[in-house]
A and B are shown apart, each in its own frame.
Chain A
Amino acid sequence: MSVAVEPAHTRKDHQKQKPGYVRMKSTRRGVDNPRRSVLLTVLTGIVLIYSLIPLVWLFINSSKTQADLFTSFGLWFSGDFALFGNIGDTLTYDDGIFGRWFLNTVLYVVVGAGGATFLAVLGGYALAKFNFPGKKAVFAVVIGAVAVPGTALAVPTFLMFSEMGLTNTPWSVIIPSLISPFGLYLMWTFASEAIPTELLESARMDGAGEFRTFFQICLPLLGPGIVTVLLFTMVATWNNYFLPLIMLKDPAWYPLTLGLNAWNAQASTAGGEAIFNLVITGSLLTILPLIAAFLLLQRYWQSGLSAGAVKE
């Protein structure tokens, strides 16, 4: 941040002379920017197209029947517009198990991501605002543990959970999702900036207990950070695939990702029915809620990230 010093100094001089100029410039990053660049927009547009084409493909192919899917150009509509038929089939196939998977996923997200956020908020707050024995070790251990490939830990975790009678229950999916190292990191950086230490001091001087201080004074200040962490843990839980694959045997407890993969694999069994159109439509239905959540919560999580990302 050493570069900051000199320009800050020059700014002062100029400000006196041409206040109007500076004022206009200070809004350069606002919505009413005067100099928009077509070239830059086109260049960024390439990345935009790259990002959207697969999603467009997904949408277009959700509108095709199994037969059309195999015989038509991938990036344009063909035959009957079967999207609603496909959605209906997806929701009713195999006694509507898709709905059950959806509810399972919601359960895992609410309890798992909610719990993960709660633990990360508490932990991040502790790292940011307390000096306690073992503090330095905590984050080193967390980062270190994250570096060990999860797939290889799956069997030991499975054997442990099996010993505790947790396999094939929702708990076997929920408990591991309760840990979000990235969430912990975000909350740590966010809390150290969002909560003025003076505020804590005065609360303590007033004799408020640690928990009361946290829940009544600090929690409200952490709002945007909490929403951000919640979003990341939601995505992680919603997209969770590998662990449920190991832990769950009963399709009645599958989350959506596992169910979709099972449908995809179904085409490769003797006597199995190929239902690629339902796999594709199911994929579309799987990502829609997340996209909706992103759009709705946009305002909050972006400000949460801002504070998180700046800390070094």
Chain B
Amino acid sequence: MTTASPPPAALGTQPKPAKRAQKRTQKRSWSGWLFIGPFMAVFAVVFLAPIAYSIWLSFFRNQLVGGNGFVGLANYSQALQDSQFWSSLLRVTLFLAVQVPVMLLIALLVALALDSGRLYGKSFFRISIFLPYAVPAVVASLMWGFMYGTRFGLVGNINSALGINLPNPLSPDLILASIGNIVTWEFIGYNMLIFYSALRVIPKSLYEAAEIDGASQFRLVTAIKLPAIRGALVVAAIFSVIGSFQLFNEPAILQSLAPNSISTYFTPNLYAYSLSFSGQQYNYSATVAIIMGVITMVIAYAVQLRGMRKES
């Protein structure tokens, strides 16, 4: 299978003529739907129908006493004035502003280090740093939860071994950072790999020329490598934004260890979950979900626009 395909390095150099040919010959026809149709059909069942259903639900309110009734936009106006909802949004925004840049920066630096070819044992580095991605979020959170324990967990072990007093990672002040650490740990390798792959297909000729010009490694990175992988950076940023706004598994599992630090409205997703599952407020939960969806879309779109504008 793979032998039949062109080597990846060649792919990076070829798209231009291919694209031109594409534009010249493509006619609008329905036959594309033969191929995209199956995807969209399943997509409609598992995404569009539940979303449509949620929108429908968001116009009603169902009470334990008094039953179900149409309330128009009341749920939306309630959500806009809901301090718990806004505090959860603020929290993930803070998370997004700190964790995503840190994670992407580390991933990028590792990818650049790997790509520079100056590492001993490169492939060992590459696969090892990628491994955490294989660990299910559930397992990762359970594992880190065990380790965060200040009494008998790893943090506690370190405290008693070194005679120091590390702060409790599960205290209300530090919990967001501790969750950030888990997420960073899980996804550094994944993002690193995306960047690394993008770096690998930069045509070698660009480097050769630059080196002959006597460009420093630093200049090589800023002038050639980073511009060349901007697309990968934008994609990674968009998926990270969406991931941050949907933060759920890690806080949900740590909640049983740190119930006072992780409230039921710690993240918007957790809030929607507890409204729906503990509070049986399906309608309000759907409203919160839709508002979050819209906000996420706007921000992801903004990131994309910004990324693309810089490029041109």
Taking a contact as CB atoms under 8 Å apart, the answer to whether A260 and B139 are in contact is yes
**Min CB distance, A56 to chain B, in Å?**
11
Q: Does B164 touch A at the CB level, under 8 Å?
A: no
Which A residues are in CB contact (< 8 Å) with B4?
Answer: 220-221, 223
**Min CB distance, B59 to chain A, in Å?**
14
Set A160, A198, A312: member contacting B234, Cβ < 8 A: A312
Known A-B contacts A14-B212, A223-B2; A156 and B57 likewise in contact (beta carbons under 8 Å): yes
Q: Does A107 touch B at the CB level, under 8 Å?
A: no
Taking a contact as CB atoms under 8 Å apart, the answer to whether A242 and B208 are in contact is no
Taking a contact as CB atoms under 8 Å apart, the answer to whether A241 and B249 are in contact is yes
Among B198, B212, B231, B242, residue most surrounded by chain A Cβ atoms (within 10 Å): B212
Known A-B contacts A14-B209, A157-B50, A223-B1; A149 and B289 likewise in contact (beta carbons under 8 Å): yes
Taking a contact as CB atoms under 8 Å apart, the answer to whether B43 and A145 are in contact is yes
**Chain A, Cβ-Cβ closest to B24:** A197
Taking a contact as CB atoms under 8 Å apart, the answer to whether A306 and B201 are in contact is yes
A106 to B44, CA, bound (A): 26
Taking a contact as CB atoms under 8 Å apart, the answer to whether A147 and B300 are in contact is yes
**Chain B, Cβ-Cβ closest to A187:** B39
Q: Does B309 touch A at the CB level, under 8 Å?
A: no
A61 to B235, CA, bound (A): 37
Taking a contact as CB atoms under 8 Å apart, the answer to whether A126 and B118 are in contact is no
Set B153, B206, B286: member contacting A4, Cβ < 8 A: B206
- Which A residues from 96 to 151 make CB contacts under 8 A with B? 119-120, 122-123, 125-127, 129-135, 138, 141-151
Taking a contact as CB atoms under 8 Å apart, the answer to whether A175 and B45 are in contact is yes
Contact bitstring A210-222, B, C-beta under 8 A = 1, else 0: 1100100000111
Contact bitstring B273-312, A, C-beta under 8 A = 1, else 0: 1001100001001101110111011001000000010010
- Which B residues from 247 to 295 make CB contacts under 8 A with A? 248-249, 253, 268-270, 272-273, 276-277, 282, 285-286, 288-290, 292-294
Q: Does B232 touch A at the CB level, under 8 Å?
A: yes
* Segment with Cβ contacts to A, from B72-80, B169-177, B221-229: B221-229
Interface of B is mostly: helix
**Chain B, Cβ-Cβ closest to A119:** B39
Q: Does A170 touch B at the CB level, under 8 Å?
A: no
Taking a contact as CB atoms under 8 Å apart, the answer to whether A70 and B129 are in contact is no
Among A4, A151, A176, A235, residue most surrounded by chain B Cβ atoms (within 10 Å): A151
- Which A residues from 227 to 244 make CB contacts under 8 A with B? 227, 235, 238-239, 241-242
Taking a contact as CB atoms under 8 Å apart, the answer to whether A156 and B286 are in contact is yes
Q: Can you list 13 residue pairs at the A/B interface with Cβ under 8 Å?
A: A8-B206, A25-B212, A36-B117, A43-B113, A74-B157, A75-B154, A123-B39, A148-B292, A193-B15, A287-B139, A306-B198, A310-B201, A312-B231
Starting from the known contacts A7-B209, A310-B232, 18 additional A-B residue pairs (CB-CB under 8 Å) come to A3-B206, A7-B206, A28-B117, A30-B117, A33-B118, A35-B118, A36-B117, A38-B120, A47-B188, A48-B125, A51-B128, A119-B39, A132-B29, A151-B269, A192-B18, A295-B127, A306-B12, A310-B11
